[in-house]
Chains A and B, each alone.
Chain A
Amino acid sequence: MILSERTRQRASSVTVYVVLGVIAIALLLPYLWLIITSFKSRVDTFAIPPSLTFQPTLDNYTTAFIAKGFLSNLRNSIIVAVFSTLFSVVVGVPSAYAFSRYRLPGQDQQFFLILVTRMTPPVVLVLPLYLLMARLDLLDTHLAIIIAHTTFNLPLVIWMMKGFFDSVPKEIDEAGMVDGCSPMMTFLRLVLPLTVGGLAATAILCAVFSWNEFLFALILSGRGTATLLVAVPRLMTIAGTFWGQVAAVGTVITTPVLLFAFAVQRYLVAGLTFGAINE
């Protein structure tokens, strides 16, 4: 039978949707499995073949967060993410504005240096930072981790916000100057309010990167300041791993980030590629 062009097109588009559906399920399944496991009792966790009909329980959450104190680790993660984001934004945004509006000699080289700092592997910085914090008696403080996370968030803020400032017409600044506003007033009152969306996206990306960071936090934190990620290996002992609780903590680490990330998904790729690729 000869299919008409139209039928053939429809059939091929159905095939594409089916293939995409299978891929999406395969991609999401490992993560869904983690979430499902967090609601299983110990017996159900170890069932083979994997059980799908089970009595859901919150035991893993209460044991990990209340009995084993992961609530304080959650608090540490929040403190570090919020303050490293705040600091990076306050310090980085004026610089991004200046990169967008003023020409200084050697500007390209400076911008390149910002890229280098953003790309520097954490393992290079963590050794001297560790020695420095030990000398200043700042090990096992929130401040030490906040400073470490600023090393990657500050360059990110400058890099991303420059792009947002570039998209605000220069005529706005000129009008402000003509009206007698100082450069600082022009920046704060006229230009910055026009980039609020971009600013929010940048801040969320900073918070996500800080929240997800492991190496700096591992080295610089201690008993009192361990973030959620640093505390997880505590559940994996020589005697055995509390998989249900690991899954519960993993779920709490990831779900808020997902909600925030969906809000800024348009900027996610730009943020991860130093703005080299814009969707």
Chain B
Amino acid sequence: MRTPRPPTGGNYSHVGTAISFHLPAWVTLVLIIALPVIAAAYFSFSNMNLMQTGLDYRWVGLANYRAILLDPRFWDSARITVIFIFGAVALELVGGIALALLLDAIRAGRRLYTSLIMVPMILAPLVVGLTWNFLLNPQFGAGTWLIQKLGLPLPTSILTDLRFALLGVILADVWEWTPFMALIVLAGLQTIPLGLLDAARVDGANVWQVIWTVKLPTIRPILIIGSFIRGIDAFRIFDIPYILTGGGPGSATEVIDLFTYRTAFKSWEMGKGTAVGIVLFILNVVLALVLYRWMPKRET
């Protein structure tokens, strides 16, 4: 069938129509995202400090970037963030795979079950932090009580212990996001052609062999994309450590976003804060590029 064209103007009006549909969104995105990022880049070369210089700041070149690269606290928070991301995502991936394999094995009640386990991922991350704050309270937390009953080798006050506070933050995140990973893996498992599974069984493979040699290798791309998306999300964690540990004890759980927040809004060093922001933004563009390459191309 021939594609009908609008009555007048041919291709030109076609482009014009498209632009008029796009215009409101583009203008908005430029105003609320592009301009702020450009402004942040500009401020990152200034010595703006709302406590000292106020808005009477001056150009300092790369001084802020040099300062953060020499700041041990910045590197500390970068290290903590990396440990957090890998720890949380690894646990979520393993837990998610296990849960998804179980869900894939049942027929009746799967829908109801997925609704139930979705609950943690729908909660506001701040409330997740509150919930765990409550559970791990050294005096009356039900979690603390359980840990002691089970005789686990953990301190009574996990959240104020230098070695274990980050584990507390990771646990809260794992609780919230393992179901998400499970749903992603389940979506992958259900795309495996039944013929492939039958063939493996006919060849005499047992349940574990089918999982290891057929299921997991087949859904590898989904496992990678799922972990990557979760990793990007974990990269910007703020709410949970903010309310659970406040970045402490000391700076044991001060992730990079918390570090930036404190630099900008507690010490009011806007120049330095925006410099960290720009570094994070550039990293983010690179990650988005990688994700875009991996993503299944959509029909247009």
**Which of B83-91, B152-160, B180-188 lies at the interface?**
B180-188
**At the interface, yes or no: B267 with Cβ under 8 Å from chain A?**
no
Interface pair A97/B28, CB less than 8 Å apart: no
Closest chain-B Cβ to A249's Cβ sits at a distance in Å of 9
User: Chain B contacts of A90 at CB under 8 A?
Assistant: 24
Contacts A123-B280, A174-B3, A177-B6; is A27 near B36 (CB within 8 Å)? no
Interface pair B280/A102, CB less than 8 Å apart: no
User: Chain B contacts of A166 at CB under 8 A?
Assistant: 298-300
Question: Within the complex, which residue of A97, A119, A132, A151 is in contact with B284, where a contact is CB–CB below 8 Å?
Answer: A119
**At the interface, yes or no: B288 with Cβ under 8 Å from chain A?**
yes
Question: Within the complex, which residue of B1, B105, B120, B124 is in contact with A212, where a contact is CB–CB below 8 Å?
Answer: B124
**At the interface, yes or no: B65 with Cβ under 8 Å from chain A?**
no
Interface pair A95/B21, CB less than 8 Å apart: yes
User: Chain B contacts of A193 at CB under 8 A?
Assistant: none
**Which of A46-54, A64-72, A194-202 lies at the interface?**
A46-54
User: Chain A contacts of B180 at CB under 8 A?
Assistant: 269, 272
Question: Within the complex, which residue of B39, B130, B135, B284 is in contact with A121, where a contact is CB–CB below 8 Å?
Answer: B284
Question: Within the complex, which residue of B131, B184, B232 is in contact with A277, where a contact is CB–CB below 8 Å?
Answer: B184
User: Chain A contacts of B121 at CB under 8 A?
Assistant: 268, 272
**At the interface, yes or no: B208 with Cβ under 8 Å from chain A?**
no
**At the interface, yes or no: A58 with Cβ under 8 Å from chain B?**
no
**At the interface, yes or no: B59 with Cβ under 8 Å from chain A?**
no
**At the interface, yes or no: B295 with Cβ under 8 Å from chain A?**
yes
Contacts A123-B238, A124-B40, A124-B281; is A50 near B145 (CB within 8 Å)? yes
Interface size class on chain B is 35 or more
User: Chain A contacts of B270 at CB under 8 A?
Assistant: 127, 131
**At the interface, yes or no: B49 with Cβ under 8 Å from chain A?**
no
**At the interface, yes or no: A261 with Cβ under 8 Å from chain B?**
yes
A209 to B183, CA, bound (A): 19
User: Chain B contacts of A278 at CB under 8 A?
Assistant: 187
Question: Which residues of B191-243 are within 8 A (CB) of A?
Answer: 222, 225-226, 229, 232, 235-236, 238-239, 242-243
Question: Within the complex, which residue of B103, B106, B123, B238 is in contact with A31, where a contact is CB–CB below 8 Å?
Answer: B123
**At the interface, yes or no: B140 with Cβ under 8 Å from chain A?**
yes
**At the interface, yes or no: A279 with Cβ under 8 Å from chain B?**
yes
**At the interface, yes or no: B25 with Cβ under 8 Å from chain A?**
yes
Question: Which residues of B108-151 are within 8 A (CB) of A?
Answer: 109, 113-127, 130-132, 134-135, 137, 139-140, 142-143, 145
- The interface bits of chain A over 101-119 (1 if a CB of B lies within 8 angstroms of the residue's CB, else 0) are 1111001000010111101
User: Chain A contacts of B239 at CB under 8 A?
Assistant: 214-215
Interface pair A48/B145, CB less than 8 Å apart: yes
Interface pair A215/B261, CB less than 8 Å apart: yes
A229 to B25, CA, bound (A): 29
Closest chain-A Cβ to B97's Cβ sits at a distance in Å of 13
Contacts A123-B236, A219-B265; is A229 near B37 (CB within 8 Å)? no
Question: Within the complex, which residue of A30, A97, A116, A269 is in contact with B184, where a contact is CB–CB below 8 Å?
Answer: A269
User: Chain A contacts of B183 at CB under 8 A?
Assistant: 269, 279
Interface pair A94/B24, CB less than 8 Å apart: yes
Question: Within the complex, which residue of A178, A243, A254 is in contact with B123, where a contact is CB–CB below 8 Å?
Answer: A254
**At the interface, yes or no: A172 with Cβ under 8 Å from chain B?**
no
Interface pair A45/B140, CB less than 8 Å apart: yes
Interface pair B39/A131, CB less than 8 Å apart: yes
Interface pair B187/A123, CB less than 8 Å apart: no
Closest chain-A Cβ to B116's Cβ sits at a distance in Å of 5
Closest chain-B Cβ to A128's Cβ sits at a distance in Å of 4
Question: Within the complex, which residue of A20, A101, A277 is in contact with B225, where a contact is CB–CB below 8 Å?
Answer: A277
Question: Within the complex, which residue of B7, B17, B134, B296 is in contact with A276, where a contact is CB–CB below 8 Å?
Answer: B296
Question: Within the complex, which residue of A33, A119, A124, A214 is in contact with B134, where a contact is CB–CB below 8 Å?
Answer: A33
A127 to B271, CA, bound (A): 10
Interface pair A116/B117, CB less than 8 Å apart: no
Question: Which residues of A135-180 are within 8 A (CB) of B?
Answer: 147-148, 150-151, 154-155, 158, 162-163, 166, 171, 174, 177-178, 180
**At the interface, yes or no: A238 with Cβ under 8 Å from chain B?**
no
Nearest opposing residue in chain B for A257, CB measure: B122
**At the interface, yes or no: A273 with Cβ under 8 Å from chain B?**
yes
12 additional A-B pairs beyond A103-B18, A121-B277, A211-B124, beta carbons within 8 Å, are A20-B103, A20-B106, A107-B300, A115-B292, A117-B33, A122-B236, A123-B257, A177-B5, A212-B126, A215-B238, A258-B122, A261-B118
Would you mind naming 18 contact pairs between A and B with Cβ atoms under 8 Å apart? A16-B105, A20-B106, A24-B113, A91-B28, A94-B25, A102-B15, A102-B18, A121-B277, A121-B281, A127-B273, A147-B32, A150-B32, A162-B298, A215-B261, A250-B127, A253-B124, A277-B187, A278-B187
Q: 4 closest pairs, A vs B, by CB? A: A98-B21, A102-B18, A95-B25, A212-B124
- Using a CB–CB cutoff of 8 Å, the interface residues on chain B facing chain A are 1, 3-7, 14-15, 17-19, 21-22, 24-26, 28-29, 32-33, 35-37, 39-40, 43, 99, 102-103, 105-106, 109, 113-127, 130-132, 134-135, 137, 139-140, 142-143, 145, 175, 178-180, 183-184, 186-188, 222, 225-226, 229, 232, 235-236, 238-239, 242-243, 257, 260-261, 264-265, 270, 273-274, 277-278, 280-281, 284-285, 287-289, 291-292, 295-296, 298-300
